[in-house]
Amino acid sequence: MDSAVSVVVPAVKVTALSKTFGCCKALDDVSIDIRPGEMVALIGASGSGKSTLLRHIAGLARGDGDRGSIEVDGRPMQTLGRLAQGVRKNRSGIGFVFQQFNLVGRLPVFTNVLTGSLARMPLWRSLSGFFPRAERELAIEALERVGILDKAWVRASALSGGQQQRAAIARTLVQKARIILADEPIASLDPESSRRVMEILARINAEDGTTVVVSLHQVDFATRYCPRAIALKTGAVVYDGPSAQLTPDLLRNLYGSQAEELTAARSTAMSSAAFITDPDVLSAAIAVH
Amino acid sequence: MHDKAALLRAARPPFSLGKALCYGLGFAILAWSWRGAEINPLTLVQDSGNMVRFASDFFPPNFKDWRLYADEMLVTIQIAVWGTALAVLCAVPFGLLSAENIAPAWIRQPVRRLMDALRAINEMLFAMLFVVAVGLGPFAGVLALWIHTTGVLAKLFSEAVETIDPRPVEGIRSTGANAMEEIVYGVIPQVLPLWISYSLYRFESNVRSATVVGMVGAGGIGIVLWEIIRGFYFAETCAVMIIVIASVTVLDVASAHLRKLFI
């Protein structure tokens, strides 16, 4: 078993990565290995370095220069604080889902989703906006999969938060990303939208074998959707194992008083259902809990 | 009653020396410029008889040659159309290259200085130079407006680019797009309404500028205006001025309505 695993090229391999912002270490000697097809939760209180780590893996930020490297799918993303050559090409294999969705508000959802194909496009096509038929079909398919096909020609800014996040996931589908990095994808969403977004991510993971790394600060979502969890505290990995073993006791051991921030999400998610006024959403929310 | 007066005195802001100096300096500058500008209000009163006669020469306006005036006014607008269109085309790359969040300093600073230079020189001056270069006629006016407006629009465009939300751009970057694609899909959609609005505004002011570049021979209604003023044809001058005011007003109102559509 062990020898079989070691032959597989890891989907994400972070080695001895540190990141210092001014005085403080945002990442402290982080090393992790994620196998292809895994669905991993990255948990930790706010400020523990989850977002920083994901942004480094995607090549959107650079680590400290003295040591540390990141490989994705066996290709180097950065070494010793320098982005590898061809990092843009490698980025196209990584779908990034942001907490604030990062869609272009004035463009229709369809165009936003199509931008997932930019990296494959010759420059004249991407600058003129003449996307080939196959790409447009792929975008339609992706929108259908995340359930917002009827919003294709609506401006992205007119969508609800949950719908925008689903559009952002559709963009990663058009990218044909083999890895999806989701940075707090549900932190700005209501409980029902959160559940849908997590379910879509889990389905993409199960159906396409896409590796998914999702940072969360609600442990109950992590245990429900992700078999494996990696816990960070002040930039260092303090737990890496099955998410089912993240009991409240263990969390208290790991985080002390901060543990409340991670488990409190459960109770706020429950109580927020009481403030939903839209009857459809309300019944859906009740069905969840 | 007495108490109120005391309270009012107490509520008065304390005397500030800096403020007094600022006022003093302001008045000093006004007094100093009075001499240089040879301001003499008395002539307005003394020569008021002349002024009245001069003004009465303007009325009634003489529209006998209105066909010529209308044709030249159209040429004036055509000069403004092309001068603005070419300037918008050039201001897009120059504006992007002088934006802090797009171009590195070693590109940005030279481009900005070049745009400053284009902006610093008035279109009338450019018109005089281009009349020498390409000869009398509207094309010299187009070139003059193009150069000056490029400088103005590049600055306005780059300021719009500097206020964009960086997150959508990062979203595009995360798909593996290159720098040009980031600009086309992440930056331009965000700034387009402002860019259109600025361009329309510059078109309005270019119509006004185009009416005067003709005075140095660069085509349009300015040439007519120059000739009839120098020939003391004041009734005709009045007619031309009415036509200019009417066209500029119509275009201003139309473009203001257009701009509202884009904001």
What range defines the domain where residue B205 resides?
A: 66-262
ipTM above 0.85, yes or no: no
> Within this chain, do residues B236 and B214 fall inside the same structural domain, yes or no?
yes
Residues 6+ apart with CB under 8 A from B51: B44
> Within this chain, do residues B46 and B89 fall inside the same structural domain, yes or no?
no
- CB within 8 Å: B180 and A123: yes
Question: Which residue in chain A is spatially nearest to B166 when comparing CA positions?
Answer: A102
Sheet bearing A82-83, strands edge to edge: A24-34, A12-21, A69-72, A75-79, A82-83
- C-alpha to C-alpha distances, A165 to A106, A255, B104, B244, nearest whole angstrom: 16, 30, 33, 54
Domain count across chain B: 2
Q: How many CB pairs below 8 A link A and B?
A: 86
Q: What is the pLDDT at residue A172?
A: 93
> Within this chain, do residues B113 and B21 fall inside the same structural domain, yes or no?
no
List, in order of start, the domains of chain A with CATH numbers: 2-37+44-93+180-190+211-288 (3.40.50.300)
Count how many residues are written for chain A.
289
For residue B7, being part of any structural domain is answered with no
For residue B21, being part of any structural domain is answered with yes
> Within this chain, do residues B178 and B220 fall inside the same structural domain, yes or no?
yes
Q: What is the pLDDT at residue B151?
A: 95
Which parts of B121-187 fold into alpha helices (H)? 123-134, 138-162, 166-173, 179-182
Secondary structure (3-state) at A39: strand
- C-alpha to C-alpha distances, B137 to B218, B228, B247, nearest whole angstrom: 5, 18, 21
For residue B59, being part of any structural domain is answered with no
A16, containing H or E segment: strand A12-21
Domain CATH code at residue B196: 1.10.3720.10
> Within this chain, do residues B140 and B233 fall inside the same structural domain, yes or no?
yes
> Within this chain, do residues B110 and B75 fall inside the same structural domain, yes or no?
yes
Cα distance between residue B234 and residue B246, in whole Å: 18
> Within this chain, do residues B78 and B47 fall inside the same structural domain, yes or no?
no
> Within this chain, do residues B130 and B245 fall inside the same structural domain, yes or no?
yes
The pTM of this model reads 0.78
Cα distance between residue A96 and residue B260, in whole Å: 36
> Within this chain, do residues B112 and B189 fall inside the same structural domain, yes or no?
yes
> Within this chain, do residues B28 and B115 fall inside the same structural domain, yes or no?
no
- The predicted model gives A64-87 an average pLDDT of 86
For residue B3, being part of any structural domain is answered with no
Model pLDDT for residues A192-223, shown as the tens digit of each residue? 999 999 999 999 999 999 999 999 988 888 88
- CB within 8 Å: A126 and B184: yes
Mean pLDDT by 10 residues, chain B (263 residues): 72 80 93 87 81 82 84 90 95 95 92 94 88 87 93 95 93 90 93 92 90 83 87 87 90 86 74
Question: Which residue in chain A is spatially nearest to B164 when comparing CA positions?
Answer: A104
Residue A7: pLDDT over 80: no
For residue B147, being part of any structural domain is answered with yes
> Within this chain, do residues B160 and B247 fall inside the same structural domain, yes or no?
yes
Residue A1: pLDDT over 70: no
Residues of A with Cβ-Cβ distance to B175 under 8 angstroms: 91-92, 95, 115-116, 118-119, 171, 175
For residue B1, being part of any structural domain is answered with no
For residue B57, being part of any structural domain is answered with no
> Within this chain, do residues B35 and B125 fall inside the same structural domain, yes or no?
no
